Amino acid sequence: MLSLAQISDALPPVSVIIPTRNRANLLRTCITGLRNTSYPDMEIIVANNDSDEPETLAYLRALASEGVTILDQPGPFNYSTINNNAVAIARGELICLMNNDIEVLSPDWLAIMVTQAMRPEVGAVGAQLLYPDGRIQHAGVVIGVGNAAGHAHRFLRPEAEGYFRRHALPQYVSAVTAACLVVRRDRFLAVGGLDEANFAVAFNDVDLCLKLNQRGWQSFYEPRAVLVHHESVSRGQDTDPVGAARFARELAALQRIWRTNESTDPYHHPMLSRASEQFALDLTSVAMPR
């Protein structure tokens, strides 16, 4: 039987891609976590989208001198374009898409995710992501929640029972978030990567996963890889008129392409509410006694 060290040594090279703009404190925490990660061959690519804070620029120069690839990606923020361009120069057999506001908790997270991603039937692999207060932020994505896509078990405490402890079980899902997503590079490219035209910011990860699923490479949630996600801290939320209009277009595209306003997620029971990420019973579908 192979030891854990032997298994780790046999893992293929991974390119970790981190889009960033300013907020050197977040990026530093993310990079420190990667450097404390136990993995035999990991390339780090930081895709810099118009950072202009002196502290961030100095930190990027320091990273470049230490062997980190810094890929300048100027212009309006387009998450899909930024990552696709980084994948084009990546040398890894696998790609790890990672937000700059991810905090690593244990050194084995990447090996755990890569082990699942190398399975022939698996496409994108997602981690269990926690809010800074310890509650679950992501445990897989459910298609159709909010007529779009919602994060399963959001706000649940990991130690809680929840929905039959499902948040604690490795399982197939319809999609996972690209805040931390591992996928084989050849499969990413085979489905055309992230959709730059329809999903510049939102739902690009959902679209990617559904394209992979169509090819027989099913998305997979791996709760034994646990990280903290300081959600959208550096980019902010889409509350301004321009951001809100862009989000509305992307939501409309998701519904047009994938019928998320009509379809039922095959991994989410039809008696569960489409209005809740908590796996709550849909009371409107329950026949009340007369």
User: What is the tens place of the pLDDT at every residue in 52-81?
Assistant: 999 999 999 999 999 999 999 999 999 999
In the prediction, which pLDDT does 240 show?
Answer: 77
Domains within the chain, CATH numbers bracketed: 4-276 (3.90.550.10)
User: What is the tens place of the pLDDT at every residue in 188-242?
Assistant: 999 999 999 999 999 999 999 999 999 999 999 999 999 999 975 444 455 678 8
Those residues of the chain that have pLDDT short of 70 are: 1-9, 232-239, 285-290
> Which pTM value belongs to this model?
0.93
In the prediction, which pLDDT does 10 show?
Answer: 85
The 3-class secondary structure across 177-234, one letter per residue, is CCCEEEEEHHHHHHCCCCCCCCCCCCCHHHHHHHHHHHCCCEEEEEEEEEEEECCCCC
Q: How far is CA 75 from CA 51, 52, 71, 81, 211, in A?
A: 11, 13, 13, 11, 27
Torsion angle defined by CA atoms of residues 144, 158, 18 and 41, in that order, rounded to the nearest 10 degrees: -120
